Amino acid sequence: MEHYGGTLKDTSELQRYSEEKPPIIVATFPMNREAMTEIIRIKIEEKVLEHAQMQLYGTQADLKATLQARQVRMSGLLDTKEKRPAFEVWLQQNSKTEDQVLVQEFPGRYGYAWLVFDTEGKYIGYF
């Protein structure tokens, strides 16, 4: 909560974006100078990093659209980062095919993981 600079009163507020624990939330960054200047101002003056700026948080539909838009790139990264074999194992263990899931690389505190979502953007696992 300290990362939110006082804008988050209770972690239950995050449930409107995600019911997952921890919450899986997409942040959408506007691509114009004025909006980016405001994001940077909040980061510097209010000490609230981008990932904790709730005005950037998107809906579940935004998460789904973002995941869908990134799939070609993520598929290429699976190959580039030599994670395709681990993905294939995950698919087999979970009785899924590649067209039934959306994947996203996630840089966590202790290393990278690949999050797996169904085609509606609901989290279903990781590898």
| pLDDT for the residue numbered 75 | 96
**Assigned token pair, 1:** 């909560």
* pLDDT tens, position by position, 46-97: 999 998 999 999 999 999 999 999 999 999 999 999 999 999 999 999 999 9
CB 20 within 8 A of CB 123: yes
Q: Give the distance from CA 34 to its chain's centroid.
A: 24
Q: Give the distance from CA 21 to its chain's centroid.
A: 13
- Where are the domains positioned within the chain? 1-58, 60-127
pLDDT bracket for residue 11 (50, 70, 90)? confident
Judge whether residue 108 has pLDDT over 90.
no
